[in-house]
């Protein structure tokens, strides 16, 4: 009993972070209706500033730094770090959130995901990738309860954060400006009528959220050390807690956060028991947030509150693709020639780009066509690659069969993740799929009993005696492998075009446009969503297998949650509604040809993620149709200008034609 | 009653928390007839259509051609032959007129997926769509995006989408709202020709002259209660109906 209590208290450190991030998320959602996926990254930046001040006496900015000589006192450092956090909160509001407040939910999710990528990249660039010690200024000690020594530091930290959460609660509940914030979340005009600018209220909320989150991360990281990846992604369980609190109740949020933190800590105790199965020893604590949210969603049965569900959600237009044999053959030949003329890392980069464009295509199906936001795509890909290793090495399944079987397994996983989409949509679906992706990553890919640390070798493919291995001797990128990838990508794209231009594609678009109307037109919306998730996961699964073949083994790093978020980023950047967009996404994707060139010729590889994040923020704000979409628009624009010029030159009979409504 | 063709709704009740939005409303729509459903704002007309089509929880019995459909989800009620339009249009704005109608005439599912990939893309069904467009006179805008259509055209596309591919009963929620009197009169003619071709129509509208002129029977709702059912002529002189409409001065002009 005493040990149990000890572990429960040890979990308070984690619980404190969830409270700090969660109450900030709630505050921001209250003020803007948006979910800030970068909440953890923002808080991590502030905590790094504090740690760096105390450890080296350097005040680090995103660009440049000031050496203060002697490290300033704890109090001074805290004040400076928290001031930085508040400034960052304001910057986030004015530079990223405010510009997209009228855009689609997708653009809003993408902006905050882009912020997450950007800030995480900045933290690694400015503070280094290693764990940093953080000074523990909260007095430590132990008290003995039930025969177990209970650390008081965790208790004090939790107390501080709970007090901050209580202040947030009071702000929203009792202050005039807080009430206006709540009113603004329902209806911006209400806040205007109370004499407040909704933008100013949102800016204050962002600053407050950054403040509370940073305090929590500084305190909690003093227990464990500070690590950008770890703390930045603690936003995922915090988001799960936020959903449990139905995005509105601070008291429930605090209880759920402490419960989750303690439960995760208790699991750490549980898995050391002799009767606990070895395969379930690691990663289980990360499956819990997903499981909790799923249970809540299905037990309560009600839809979670969505803000502005009546407002029309504008998504980029989707042109229905047509089979264009000439264009297709031209592209195939061009790609084949490019692969044949290059070699080594360049050819490998091109091949990777081809594979990445498949992953982007899986987003086109799900997000572009069906309008569902999933952040679990890389987990689908990873799961397929993971099983491919078993199938190709342990079970000896021959090549094309093994790949298709593994993609079908990813399909099944995708259909499972489709279930929450029955009840929720938009940013909330993004949260749940993100939690699912993290669960899959930690429970399967990082689980040593399922996925040995020495890696999961994948047997080279061969077909009818043709060797399709990626490497042979000193040749690191064989042409036959690249051509195989090209053929598979072409087949999958062909399948996509068939579906997108057929009955199912139309049903996807109908569901995206209007679920009620689709239902009343006889479309089974749930089944359509399941099919969309299935198709998307199948494509992701094929891509995962190809990544596996190209590496010769499956490494968990290829399929982390962050890799998945980067993929959403490039898919959106390329254009999330078209095949052209996914091809562009492949070219600019992580480890693709642009990355190879950036690293090889400009020596800028380490800035890749930062550039990606910033480019994405700009795209989401300025150009929701992506690069391919913008190019398409320009082509249309030029074509219409030319048509107009021709019409002007023609006899006036043509005038009637010009007056027809133009389609953009 | 041996004849069970058409829509029979018995004692439909809808509660939103403590509010009773529909209280034991019963209605019958037989094939080929047009039944009007009128009432002042907030009388529960749209709620009634939502209940019939499965978009809001309710108690009561609904049968369509003798088959109980009250436990089916909305898309299966549509497949069973109960079709509706929406007050706000609710078209698929990013699809063309033709595609809007095709959505309603093709079943989406695993077989459709397999057919899309491996089979030939069907051209059949286009005739059904063309016929429906012909019926509402929208052949000219077949390839225009739905959101680029005028309001009147959008309403008609909604009607055509609901009727396309056949249905037993058509529920029209304010198809004439926002139309001018010319368009409204043209709509009445089209509704009559649709009904003559087979399906029964339940017509909800504020335009009293449209409802009273085109309908075979009329049901009047007030505060969720059914206060009148019968001949349109009798509705004009029924004191409760007159009182209900005099209670809302904005409606007087229409009577």
Cβ–Cβ below 8 Å for B108 and A516: no
Q: Tell which of B93, B103, B159 to mutate to test the A interface (max A CBs under 10 Å).
A: B103
- pLDDT averaged over consecutive 10-residue blocks of chain A (664 residues)? 81 91 92 89 93 87 83 89 93 88 82 90 88 82 78 88 92 81 70 76 91 93 85 89 87 92 86 76 75 74 44 61 81 84 83 91 90 87 85 77 89 88 81 85 74 70 71 74 89 90 89 87 90 94 89 77 84 83 84 80 76 81 68 70 63 38 36
User: What is the arithmetic mean of pLDDT over B176-181?
Assistant: 80
CB distance from B83 to chain A under 8 Å? yes
A423-435: pLDDT as tens digits: 777 888 888 888 8
d(CA A510, CA A222): 51
| A653 contacts: CB under 8 Å, gap ≥ 6 | none
pLDDT (0 to 100) of residue B16: 84
Q: Residue B147's closest chain A neighbor by CA?
A: A663
Q: How far is B172 from chain A (nearest CA, A)?
A: 12
Q: Residue B164's closest chain A neighbor by CA?
A: A521
Q: Tell which of B108, B129, B161 to mutate to test the A interface (max A CBs under 10 Å).
A: B108
CB nearest A519 (choices: B75, B99, B144): B75
Cβ–Cβ below 8 Å for A499 and B113: yes
Q: Is B204 helix (H, G, I), strand (E, B) or coil?
A: strand
pLDDT (0 to 100) of residue A649: 57
Which residues of B fall within a CB distance of 8 Å from A509?
A: 92, 94-95, 99
CB distance from A505 to chain B under 8 Å? yes
Q: Which two tokens stand for residue A156?
A: 């004090």
**Residue listed under structure tokens 């019968």:** B230
Q: What is the torsion angle, in degrees rounded to the nearest 10, for the CA atoms of residue A420, residue A424, residue B55 and residue B209?
A: -150
CB distance from A663 to chain B under 8 Å? yes
Which residues of A fall within a CB distance of 8 Å from B108?
A: 503-504, 506-507, 523-524, 527-528, 531
pLDDT (0 to 100) of residue A238: 92
List strands edge to edge, sheet with B169-173: B82-84, B169-173, B200-204, B34-38, B217-222, B225-230
More confident residue, A661 or B146: B146
d(CA B173, CA B177): 9
User: What is the arithmetic mean of pLDDT over B22-32?
Assistant: 91
pLDDT (0 to 100) of residue A311: 38
d(CA B15, CA B25): 13
Which superfamily does CATH assign the domain made up of B7-91+165-254 to? Answer: P-loop containing nucleotide triphosphate hydrolases (3.40.50.300)
pLDDT (0 to 100) of residue A629: 66
Cβ–Cβ below 8 Å for B112 and A513: no
pLDDT (0 to 100) of residue A314: 58
Task: Say if residue B93's pLDDT is above 70.
Answer: yes
Write down the domain spans for chain B. Answer: 7-91+165-254
Q: Tell which of A316, A323, A522, A537 to mutate to test the B interface (max B CBs under 10 Å).
A: A522
Task: Say if residue B2's pLDDT is above 60.
Answer: no
CB distance from B53 to chain A under 8 Å? yes
Number of neighbours of residue B82 by Cβ within 10 angstroms: 27
Question: Which of A267, A263, A249, A366 lies closest to A318, judged by CA?
Answer: A366
| A310 contacts: CB under 8 Å, gap ≥ 6 | none
Q: What is the torsion angle, in degrees rounded to the nearest 10, for the CA atoms of residue A407, residue A412, residue A417 and residue A421?
A: 110
Task: Say if residue B171's pLDDT is above 90.
Answer: yes
pLDDT (0 to 100) of residue A454: 67
Cβ–Cβ below 8 Å for B116 and A498: yes
Cβ–Cβ below 8 Å for B112 and A527: no
Cβ–Cβ below 8 Å for A520 and B55: yes
The DSSP annotation for B94-124 comes to TSBHHHHHHHHHS--SHHHHHHHHHSPPP-T
A564-619: pLDDT as tens digits: 888 888 888 888 888 888 888 888 888 888 888 877 777 676 787 888 888 888 87
pLDDT (0 to 100) of residue A664: 35
pLDDT (0 to 100) of residue A253: 92
pLDDT (0 to 100) of residue A660: 36
Q: Which two tokens stand for residue A212?
A: 């509370």
Q: Residue B55's closest chain A neighbor by CA?
A: A516
The mean pLDDT of chain B is 84
CB distance from A518 to chain B under 8 Å? yes
pLDDT (0 to 100) of residue A626: 65
Q: How far is A504 from chain B (nearest CA, A)?
A: 6
Q: Which of residues 584-643 of A touch B (CB under 8 A)?
A: none
d(CA A461, CA A397): 10
pLDDT (0 to 100) of residue A484: 87
| B130 contacts: CB under 8 Å, gap ≥ 6 | B139, B142
Q: Tell which of A321, A494, A503, A518 to mutate to test the B interface (max B CBs under 10 Å).
A: A503
Question: Which of B213, B193, B77 lies closest to B135, judged by CA?
Answer: B193
């Amino acid at each position: 009993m005493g040990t149990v209590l000890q572990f429960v208290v040890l979990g308070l450190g984690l619980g404190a972070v969830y409270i700090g991030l969660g109450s900030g998320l709630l505050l921001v959602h209250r003020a803007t209706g948006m979910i800030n996926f970068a909440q953890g990254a923002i808080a991590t930046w502030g905590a790094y500033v504090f740690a760096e001040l105390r450890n080296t006496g350097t005040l680090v900015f995103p660009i440049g730094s000031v050496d203060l000589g002697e490290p300033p006192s704890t109090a001074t450092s805290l004040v400076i770090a928290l001031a930085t956090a508040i400034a960052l909160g304001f910057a986030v509001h004015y530079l990223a959130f405010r510009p997209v407040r009228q855009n689609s939910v997708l653009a809003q999710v993408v902006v905050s995901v882009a912020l997450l990528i950007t800030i995480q990249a900045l933290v690694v660039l400015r503070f280094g990738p290693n764990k940093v010690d953080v000074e523990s200024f909260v007095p430590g000690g132990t008290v003995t309860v039930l025969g177990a020594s209970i650390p008081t530091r965790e208790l004090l930290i939790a107390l501080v954060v709970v007090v901050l959460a209580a202040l947030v609660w009071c702000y929203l509940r009792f202050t005039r400006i807080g009430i206006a914030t709540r009113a603004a979340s329902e209806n911006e005009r209400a806040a205007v009528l109370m004499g407040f600018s909704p933008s100013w209220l949102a800016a204050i909320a962002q600053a407050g959220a950054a403040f509370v989150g940073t305090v929590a991360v500084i305190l909690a990281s003093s227990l464990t050390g500070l690590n950008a990846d770890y703390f930045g992604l603690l936003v995922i369980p915090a988001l799960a807690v936020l959903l449990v609190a139905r995005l509105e109740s601070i008291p429930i949020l605090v209880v759920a956060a402490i419960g989750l933190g303690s439960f995760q800590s208790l699991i750490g105790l549980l898995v050391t028991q002799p009767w606990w199965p070895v395969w379930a020893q690691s990663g289980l604590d990360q499956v819990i947030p997903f499981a909790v949210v799923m249970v809540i969603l299905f037990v309560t049965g009600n839809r979670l509150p969505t803000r502005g569900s009546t407002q029309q959600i504008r998504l980029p237009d989707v042109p229905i693709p047509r089979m264009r044999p000439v264009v297709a053959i031209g592209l195939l030949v061009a790609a084949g020639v490019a692969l044949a003329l290059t070699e080594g890392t360049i050819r490998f980069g091109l091949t990777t780009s081809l594979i990445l464009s498949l992953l982007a295509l899986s987003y086109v199906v799900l997000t572009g066509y069906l309008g569902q936001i999933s952040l679990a795509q890389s987990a689908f890909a990873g799961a397929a690659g993971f099983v491919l290793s078993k199938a190709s090495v342990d079970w000896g399944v021959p090549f094309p069969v093994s790949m298709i079987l593994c993609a079908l397994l990813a399909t099944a996983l995708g259909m499972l993740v489709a279930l929450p989409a029955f009840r929720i949509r938009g940013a909330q679906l993004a949260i749940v799929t993100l939690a699912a992706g993290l669960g899959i990553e930690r429970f399967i890919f990082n689980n040593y009993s399922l996925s040995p640390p020495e890696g999961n070798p994948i047997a080279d493919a061969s077909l009818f005696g043709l060797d399709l291995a990626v490497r042979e001797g000193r040749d690191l990128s064989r042409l036959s492998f690249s051509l195989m990838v090209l053929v598979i990508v072409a087949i999958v794209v062909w399948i996509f075009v068939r579906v997108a231009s057929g009955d199912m594609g139309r049903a996807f678009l109908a569901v995206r446009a209007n679920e009620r109307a689709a239902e009343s037109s006889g479309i089974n919306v749930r089944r359509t969503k399941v099919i969309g998730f299935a198709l998307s996961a199948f494509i992701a699964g094929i891509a995962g297998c190809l990544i596996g073949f190209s590496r010769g083994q499956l490494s968990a790093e290829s399929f982390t949650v962050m890799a998945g978020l980067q993929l959403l980023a490039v898919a959106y950047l390329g254009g999330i509604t078209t095949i052209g967009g996914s091809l562009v996404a492949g070219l600019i994707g992580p480890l693709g040809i642009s990355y190879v060139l950036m690293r090889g010729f400009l020596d800028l590889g380490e800035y890749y993620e930062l550039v990606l994040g910033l480019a994405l923020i700009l795209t989401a704000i300025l150009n929701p149709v992506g690069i391919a979409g913008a190019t398409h628009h320009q082509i249309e624009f030029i074509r219409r200008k030319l048509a107009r010029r021709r019409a002007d030159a023609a006899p006036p009979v043509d005038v009637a034609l010009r007056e027809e409504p133009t389609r953009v | 009653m041996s004849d069970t063709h058409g829509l029979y709704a018995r004692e439909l009740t809808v509660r939103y928390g403590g509010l009773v939005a529909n209280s034991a409303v019963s209605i019958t729509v037989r094939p080929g007839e047009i039944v009007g459903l009128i009432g002042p704002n907030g009388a529960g007309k749209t709620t009634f259509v939502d209940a019939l089509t499965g978009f809001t929880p309710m108690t009561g019995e609904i049968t369509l051609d003798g088959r109980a459909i009250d436990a089916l989800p909305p898309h299966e009620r549509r497949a069973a032959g109960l079709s509706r339009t929406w007050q706000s249009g609710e078209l698929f704005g990013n699809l063309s007129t033709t595609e809007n109608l095709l959505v309603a005439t093709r079943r989406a599912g695993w077989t459709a997926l397999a057919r899309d990939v491996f089979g030939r893309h069907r051209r059949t069904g286009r005739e059904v769509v063309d016929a429906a467009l012909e019926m509402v006179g929208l052949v000219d805008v077949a390839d225009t995006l739905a959101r680029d259509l005028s309001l009147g055209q959008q309403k008609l596309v909604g009607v055509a989408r609901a009727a396309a591919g056949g249905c037993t009963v058509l529920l029209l929620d304010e198809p004439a709202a926002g139309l001018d009197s010319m368009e409204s009169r043209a709509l009445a003619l089209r509704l009559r020709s649709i009904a003559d071709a087979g399906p029964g129509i339940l017509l909800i509208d504020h335009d009293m002259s449209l409802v009273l002129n085109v309908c075979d029977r009329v049901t009047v709702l007030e505060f969720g209660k059914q206060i009148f059912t019968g001949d349109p002529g009798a509705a004009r002189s029924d004191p409760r109906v007159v009182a209900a409409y005099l209670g809302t001065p904005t409606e007087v002009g229409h009577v």
